[in-house]
Structure 1
């Protein structure tokens, strides 16, 4: 299909041919419920065909290559996907910065801006926030990516888009699969999967464990996952699928280094500011003392009933999730614990008046998510849980309704749609004490505690309501069987999350929230900011071309967004929170290019290039500066060579060719960098294969990501070191 890279086509066709009906039943593509199995050699890959026909940026990513990876992270799975920028923080299964078209970019860590789905049900909480480490590409069969307004039909209320992680089923992946891998930085991982196909019933169970000590001194991580699904087919009209999933995630937060520290010793962790006769230098968190870390669990239980009645397709899904998230921030924010439950209901309907067309004539979706959580804050006493200084009961509800047509006009398809969302964000402050405790350390001797303090309690309760319309109009032109052009104009609506509406403030690298002067325990100061934020709204124009020639295939999209009230989460030069704000006007420009070429039966190459230019517009303080944190360019390229039917090799480059602004005032930048990887796979027989990889071949010191601050200092700790040279190997058993 046009726009799909060669290997992705082959891999996706392979798994769809094995059992496409079950896989499509968990897809979120338009009219994707498909009850008839597709036989090997079918003339069209229905799922890829439907995604390719959309008038906007969309991709289908096969995770087939991840079986040959010892450390299958989200950044690795999405590396070849243009428009999805994933910047590693600590190298493992932790909290990389993922953004699509800049949505949620400035959160540290990113917890907003993308709707993440598991088999069509959200991983996000009811307020739109998410823990990115819960997204597990190793246990997905494929990943659907909908950029921009195309995600509206899935219930998304974001500028960026949506990702749907599609699980394998017993019908699509019968048999047993085992994987064991290990390598540098104490990396150890194992995955197992069993599928059974009984015709009108199928079962799949899977589990994985990944651990690593990490490249840096305080850098361990682990993720345990178990899940499965059970499918029932009733005749030719109904499929019921029940699924469950459990993830236990934990990782050390190694924190940033100064630019000099990155060059000198990227394995080190930062020990906080240095006090000199002229004042404090090298601002940043004291990771050695505060031991920041995150431990989170999430359980998902859901059911999805899909039915097909002649030209009509109906899909009903319900789900429940429970999450327990403990985040030990540096002392400036303390320890945040969140325990909550979220319930989701989704109803989708599609009318396929012409079965020969890829897209339904009409599609409607309604999604309602409601959740409640208890959030407490505790002082961070040198890595130990101290006194509680806040208690909140958070409630959120989001209702999203979307209706759209795909009207054929000869070789043209006109796609008007309208979405409406209503969101509530309520917080009840149940702390109940007259004062909130504070603590501090001596800045000159950061291991020596100063007298504890207290500040008057000010209620953080709020009740916020948001609603907005998101109309869109797309037009696609099927020039010929190999080329499709499209243009779309859309509006988007993105309400803030509780993380935007409730934030600690007035902390320092040596004192807790509410204590801006470590040496003054009685100075009154706010502990929290609860800004009255507006929803972020944007108007976006995008144009694209998907096509192929004899040896080339391409998928390119360009977009321009004008944003009102963009949500920004600000931090000061030390990395301490300043709370969130609305930027009055910003604009986002971008190009998303995927390119593939087949030089012959044994040699192929792929390129994913993302160009981003995100700027303030006449901001009183920041002028027309670039928004911090977005690399102007991001490039990933591979060269694949099949030496013989059993042995293949790949060379890859990850390249940030220009410097990246660290702060919104554009005073500090991360340098450009390029990292090269080599990989190889050898299939011993039909059951066993082995793989090996050398990552960062030349051991390049680089900042894979940065903190994002409002106004930086040249000497501040803001740079997240990427992994050095690593060697990994493993074995796959498939029977």
Structure 2
């Protein structure tokens, strides 16, 4: 069966959900209701409530999701693998500690470390460095009110032009989480986490503060971590129609790196670290402070203006392989943003608009020293790296009828990358990237609870310094920006006991930035592929199977998230039509949960097909299925207990890996999945 035929059959099958939508009025089932606290919690002008945010985001004619904290707060959730579980289209798998492979629609698919191809934000402020690279350890799920996921070009409002889109981490506020809370968690593997948070609402102002400390021996050798994370914000009403909010985050993060190992070691001795990680004492230690402000003004009945600015200061101490050395960086990122949005009547038709500008500038003092057992030796490299990014964007939804909206948008991006090398002056260089990215979409709402959508859009990604400074050339390594055109159709809605969210997409990429590992001590190399194709299906489907089983108000719910990912070279000279390595074609997560008024119990299952490891398609990871459970109990209205079990059958599996060209070279690229683990926690509110 051809790839196109396979995708077409899935598309036809998905029309079953659309038929449910049109049959809505004939159903006699009780309506699906969600009464999670976060959906009812209060919001403010600068930070809407979860319910308000969901209403705004679902005006987007494309794949989006809102994940409230209630979805993961009764678990030991430390990474995006935990918080974005059961979110269709999001592939998040742990490498070690809080480090994950995070990809949406094949973004940064072959990146063997950290993140590229996604815009990561906290409260709308970039988490990424200005060159586009990012890591995850500074995020704290316990200070999070919700996660907003914008897939592909649906992240226009944040100035994102990347293939994968954007993930926005929205902090708790005094409005959303008033009162005090103490939380403590422990696991069977010497992992402990404690958190204190406090929120208050005063006359015209509010504050929220959270302090989290984590210590863990890790599942593998040389996998210890010690983290301290502070997140706080203060909001002040300036007038009846204006509010300003200040944000402050500070982090002290120490993480040992166990490294990747061979397939045999990962499956048969999964706790083992790469021996060179131990002898080189590989680590990733971060000290960071983030300060930001956002101010929102109402300038009319239906119009508002947001303005803001931010500065992020970060120190990175990162001993890795002897081949590379000790990466020692001091970076400062800063920028501003402004956005106007609202709606008005245009020739008797509803018209909703958004116009804005974002900027992100970064300066990195990048040094590399010889690695002597995890300590600095002789200076090997010293360079100043400067990134500048400005994005102008606009989006307009014109309602041809009350049910049909024509959505048009455009984005102009300007980016520069400059390096001044003080050790090898001939490797100094600079380059400018400019792109215009249009978007066209339609949104159809046949009823109040059902939407159908389609869009076509362009994305553009400038290379990061990792791709540009691979060495061995005069000036930058000759790699181009990655561009793509993406077409998407889908539907989302609720009907009686059913809820669904489906997106089907196909992206045509030019100059896709792909990486491959050549040796266990050598950094991955990056090249531009020729033409490539990313296509897939993102399917979320929830159903309330029964209620009133044992007592009035109880509920049995079945949640499902399936991601089909088909990424391949399109007539490449070397790789022909091979699959692009990095992600399984089929990835499925499901949960069966029973709730009563004061307790719940849930069983979950994660199922993955095999995945290509090399671009020559000669090595695959074996597929797997792992089972977990979760339960919680309200001792009183203020005291809550929970337990969380992972990989109950203690299955040996591959969580993720770094990509390679073929199986003839280095194959120590695998990260083993964690074995059986149990966590328990208590949450006390006062």
TM-score by length of 1: 0.85
Aligned partners of 1:418 and 1:470 also within 8 Å: yes
Aligned partners of 2:426 and 2:475 also within 8 Å: no
The SS at the match of 1:48 is: helix
> Is residue 2:299 matched to residue 1:309?
yes
Per the TM alignment, residue 221 of structure 1 is displaced from its structure 2 partner at its CA by 1.7
> Is residue 2:242 matched to residue 1:238?
yes
Change (3 A) 1:715 1:570: closer
Distance 2:535 2:411 in 1: 23
The SS at the match of 1:152 is: helix
Q: Which residue of 1 aligns with 2:65?
A: 59
**Following superposition of structure 1 onto structure 2, how do residues 532-547 of structure 1 map, counting pairs within 5 Å?**
532-547=478-493
Q: Which residue of 1 aligns with 2:311?
A: 320
Distance 1:404 1:245 in 2: 31
Aligned counterpart in structure 2 of residue 617 of structure 1, from 561, 567, 570: 570
Aligned partners of 1:62 and 1:141 also within 8 Å: yes
Deviations 1:8-56 (A, max 9, x none): 97366x335331225xx236xxxxxxxxxx8xxxxx9332122222101
Aligned partners of 1:51 and 1:58 also within 8 Å: yes
**Following superposition of structure 1 onto structure 2, how do residues 702-713 of structure 1 map, counting pairs within 5 Å?**
702-713=653-664
Aligned counterpart in structure 2 of residue 720 of structure 1, from 671, 680, 686: 671
The SS at the match of 2:137 is: helix
Per the TM alignment, residue 549 of structure 1 is displaced from its structure 2 partner at its CA by 2.1
Aligned partners of 1:668 and 1:714 also within 8 Å: no
Deviations 1:300-347 (A, max 9, x none): 101111011222210001111011112222122222122111111000
> Is residue 2:176 matched to residue 1:172?
yes
Q: How many residue pairs get matched?
A: 649
Per the TM alignment, residue 459 of structure 1 is displaced from its structure 2 partner at its CA by 2.6
Per the TM alignment, residue 384 of structure 1 is displaced from its structure 2 partner at its CA by 3.0
Q: Which residue of 2 aligns with 1:281?
A: none
The SS at the match of 1:227 is: strand
Aligned partners of 1:573 and 1:712 also within 8 Å: no
Q: Which residue of 2 aligns with 1:681?
A: 632
Distance 2:187 2:32 in 1: 27
**Following superposition of structure 1 onto structure 2, how do residues 349-428 of structure 1 map, counting pairs within 5 Å?**
349-353=340-344, 361-410=352-401, 411-428=403-420
Which structure 1 residue ranges, 5 or more long, are not aligned? 28-37, 39-43, 272-285, 432-456, 505-525
Aligned counterpart in structure 2 of residue 459 of structure 1, from 421, 426, 447: 426
Distance 2:306 2:240 in 1: 15
Q: Which residue of 1 aligns with 2:284?
A: 294
**Following superposition of structure 1 onto structure 2, how do residues 90-109 of structure 1 map, counting pairs within 5 Å?**
90=96, 92-93=97-98, 95-109=99-113
Distance 1:542 1:131 in 2: 28
Change (3 A) 1:561 1:544: same
Q: Which residue of 2 aligns with 1:471?
A: 438
Aligned partners of 1:70 and 1:180 also within 8 Å: no
Q: Which residue of 1 aligns with 2:7?
A: none
Aligned partners of 1:591 and 1:610 also within 8 Å: yes
Cα RMSD, aligned residues only? 2.3
Aligned partners of 1:352 and 1:362 also within 8 Å: yes
Aligned partners of 2:321 and 2:521 also within 8 Å: no
The SS at the match of 2:530 is: strand
The SS at the match of 2:667 is: coil
Aligned partners of 1:335 and 1:378 also within 8 Å: yes
The SS at the match of 1:89 is: strand
Change (3 A) 1:322 1:292: same
Aligned partners of 1:50 and 1:359 also within 8 Å: no
**Following superposition of structure 1 onto structure 2, how do residues 75-154 of structure 1 map, counting pairs within 5 Å?**
75-90=81-96, 92-93=97-98, 95-154=99-158
Distance 2:484 2:414 in 1: 16
Aligned partners of 1:290 and 1:383 also within 8 Å: yes
Distance 2:177 2:129 in 1: 30
Aligned counterpart in structure 2 of residue 554 of structure 1, from 497, 500, 513: 500
Which structure 2 residue ranges, 5 or more long, are not aligned? 1-17, 22-29, 548-554
> Is residue 2:512 matched to residue 1:566?
yes
Deviations 1:139-178 (A, max 9, x none): 1100111011111221112111001111111122110011
Aligned partners of 1:238 and 1:306 also within 8 Å: yes
Per the TM alignment, residue 679 of structure 1 is displaced from its structure 2 partner at its CA by 1.1
Deviations 1:579-622 (A, max 9, x none): 32211211100111111001123100101111101111111111
The SS at the match of 1:692 is: strand
Q: Which residue of 1 aligns with 2:52?
A: 46
Per the TM alignment, residue 666 of structure 1 is displaced from its structure 2 partner at its CA by 1.4
Aligned partners of 1:49 and 1:358 also within 8 Å: no
The SS at the match of 1:600 is: strand
